[in-house]
Amino acid sequence: MTTHCTGRGLLKLVSEFVASTVFARRIRSLGKLTEDAILKSELEIVPYDPQWPSAFEAEAVRLRNTLGALALRIDHNGSTSIPGLAAKAIVDIQISVALLQPIAAYSAPLQAIGYVHLPDPDDSFCPFFHRPSQWPHTHHVHVVKMGGAEERRTLAFRDYLREHGEVAREYEQLKRDLAREFAPSDRESREAYARAKTAFIERIVAIALRGGYPREFP
């Protein structure tokens, strides 16, 4: 689910990752792989791995040690943060900071521990980092403003799916159906895939926000 703030016009929350911006960013970073190979991997989901939470915790320790006081909070988000949900095997992490600019304040320490940042218009609300530098990626980091709309939307989607198993199962089935229906090597199909996921995500985010999610926010 790279529910979330890297999506064009939605949240990438969601967003392990979903819209064409996500595809473009990952393709630009992977010089040795063909576009089709990368896009095919975008549509591959695997059964839930109970080790994903511990993988997040281990990486969160590295990030806290590296960023120190810059990281006001570090959250596990995306599909791997939803117990029982099949997903792409990439741990999505959201880091909340006081100020998104200058990006160098946190991009330099993140790069020191293996993360790659690619400049993008989305940097105005959600700078995106990945590691390792080459595909396949194991971790994605999305930086958001503490208390901002992107932070709230991402966590609202995550928390709602955690508490509503039937909706999480609906989301998983949607991803499986879309992966079967759309050819990742075809641009029009990829855009249709992104639109279908975006529609679901935006609908659930709206429901979650109206319902008071995320619970920990005032």
Average pLDDT over residues 141-153: 95
Question: Sorting pLDDT into bands at 50, 70 and 90, what band is 213?
Answer: very high
Question: Sorting pLDDT into bands at 50, 70 and 90, what band is 179?
Answer: confident
Average pLDDT over residues 127-154: 92
Helix (H) or strand (E) holding 114: none
Distance CA 54, CA 60 (A): 10
Give the β-pairing of 73-77 and 128-131.
Answer: unpaired
The residue whose two tokens read 């959250």 is 75
Is residue 145 pLDDT above 80, yes or no?
yes
Distance CA 121, CA 59 (A): 27
Q: How many CA atoms lie within 13 A of 204 on its CB side?
A: 31
Residue-level pLDDT at 122: 79
Please give the single-letter amino acid code of residue 151. Answer: E
Average pLDDT over residues 191-212: 88
CATH 3.40.50.300 fits 2-210, yes or no: no
Is residue 37 pLDDT above 60, yes or no?
no
Residue-level pLDDT at 186: 62
Q: Which of these, 9, 142, 20, lies nearest to 81 by C-alpha position?
A: 142
Domain parsing of the chain, residue ranges: 2-210
Residue-level pLDDT at 24: 43
Cβ distance 150 to 94 under 8 Å? no
Tell me the three state secondary structure of residue 30. coil
Residue-level pLDDT at 42: 56
Is residue 218 pLDDT above 60, yes or no?
no
For 4-25, how does the pLDDT look when each residue is reduced to its tens digit (9 = 90+)? 453 332 333 333 333 334 434 4
Sign, CA torsion 18/23/29/31? positive
For 112-121, how does the pLDDT look when each residue is reduced to its tens digit (9 = 90+)? 999 999 778 8
Record the pTM.
0.80
Distance CA 75, CA 6 (A): 16
| DSSP β-bridge partners for residue 130 | 116, 140
Share of the chain residues as helix, strand and coil, in percent rounded to the nearest 5: 50, 15, 35
